[in-house]
Amino acid sequence: MSAARYAVFGQPIAHSQSPHIHAAFARAQGIALDYRAIEASPQEFAAALEAFAAEGGVGANVTLPHKEAAFALCATTTSRAHRAGAVNTLLRKGDGWHGDNTDGIGLVRDLTGRHGLDLRGRRVLLLGAGGAARGIAPALLDAGILELVVANRSPARADALVDAMAEPGRAISAYWEDLREQGDFELVINATSAGRDKDAAFQLPLSLVNSLTTAVDLNYGGAAIAFLAWARAAGCRNSFDGLGMLVEQAAESFRLWHGVRPDTDAVYAELRERASTLVTAD
């Protein structure tokens, strides 16, 4: 009997650690798995996804830049995917796709479990309003943060994300140019691609940081260097990349597909050893 077919879609996708992560999870659980990376441009994504289904694909992960497009292609979604308006996990049901978003729970598990942070009562600055930001915003609010401020180069995108959260006064948008007027935050999260040029400086006002600030980049490896360098220069108490979130969200996808949530510690430890070779985030 051939192994069930799964894939991760994105552009670019050659960097993706998802095939390695899911292969490791499957070995540990004794599950036969065929998981591959499929590159598709935004124009090609819908057709590539349907071709994958026609060839027997039963589940998929979705990374940049397709998370919002994937949501639009789903016949059904979970409540957290609906709230986010973005999907990173697909499961074939009948003739259509069922969509979920495991990014938010993956981030919260990493921050609270692996790094021991208490998110309750924290002011949080979220940089970016695309699919990655949409995926984590609901989970942060559900984790008990005090306030979520969303800043994006395109203010309309930030406004749309905040409106989707339906948390007036608790989730608000801010102009990027006015960040220095927003006060300080206990958690600053980079959900943009601005730092992917590792030779470029990431410029943010130092006034955003207080003595308790944790900085998190949803990217990992080389793509997180610029933001994490800013965090260290600004005096943040902690700074993390998105590798832990990547592993935790993958475990949640695996649970949706296979009915069991794998242990993540061994896979995370292995990838952390190789972190210098990783280039970007799912």
pLDDT of residue 274: 83
Tell whether 221 and 272 lie within a shared domain.
no
Which comes out higher in pLDDT, residue 118 or 282?
118
Tell whether 22 and 121 lie within a shared domain.
no
Q: Is 48 contained in some domain?
A: yes
Tell whether 229 and 175 lie within a shared domain.
yes
Tell whether 54 and 129 lie within a shared domain.
no
Tell whether 151 and 227 lie within a shared domain.
yes
Average pLDDT over residues 91-113: 98
Tell whether 234 and 113 lie within a shared domain.
yes
**Residues within the annotated binding site for NADP(+)?**
128-132, 218, 242
Sign, CA torsion 14/18/20/23: negative
Q: Look up residue 242 and give its two tokens.
A: 């998105």
| Residue 198, domain CATH | 3.40.50.720
Angle at 39 between CA 51 and CA 152, to 5 degrees: 115
Q: What is the largest CA-CA distance in the chain?
A: 61
Q: What percent of the chain has pLDDT over 70?
A: 94
**Residues within the annotated binding site for shikimate?**
16-18, 63, 88, 103, 220, 249
Q: Please identify which of the residues 67, 92, 109, 258 carries the catalytic annotation.
A: 67
How many CA atoms does the CB half-sphere of 25 hold within 13 Å? Answer: 27
Burial of 210 (0-12, 13-18, 19+ CB in 10 A): middle
Domain tally for the chain? Answer: 2
Q: How confident is the model at residue 281 (pLDDT cuts 50, 70, 90)?
A: very low
pTM above 0.95, yes or no: no
225 touches 86 (CB < 8 A): no
Q: How confident is the model at residue 3 (pLDDT cuts 50, 70, 90)?
A: confident
Average pLDDT over residues 176-188: 96
Q: Is 72 contained in some domain?
A: yes
Tell whether 163 and 65 lie within a shared domain.
no
Q: Is 206 contained in some domain?
A: yes
| Residue 93, domain CATH | 3.40.50.10860
Which comes out higher in pLDDT, residue 117 or 194?
117
pLDDT over threshold 70, residue 198: no
Tell whether 215 and 112 lie within a shared domain.
yes
Tell whether 178 and 236 lie within a shared domain.
yes
Tell whether 208 and 172 lie within a shared domain.
yes
Tell whether 211 and 270 lie within a shared domain.
no
Average pLDDT over residues 143-160: 96
Q: How far is CA 138 from the centre of its chain?
A: 12
Q: Is 282 contained in some domain?
A: no
Q: How far is CA 128 from the centre of its chain?
A: 12
Q: Is 41 contained in some domain?
A: yes
pLDDT over threshold 50, residue 279: no
Cα–Cα distance, 210 to 215 (Å, whole number): 11
Domain span holding position 232: 104-243
Whether 67 is a known active-site residue: answer yes
Q: Look up residue 78 and give its two tokens.
A: 């979970």
pLDDT in tens, 125-148: 999 999 999 999 999 999 999 999
Residue type, 132: A
Question: Rounded mean pLDDT of the chain?
Answer: 94
Tell whether 150 and 112 lie within a shared domain.
yes
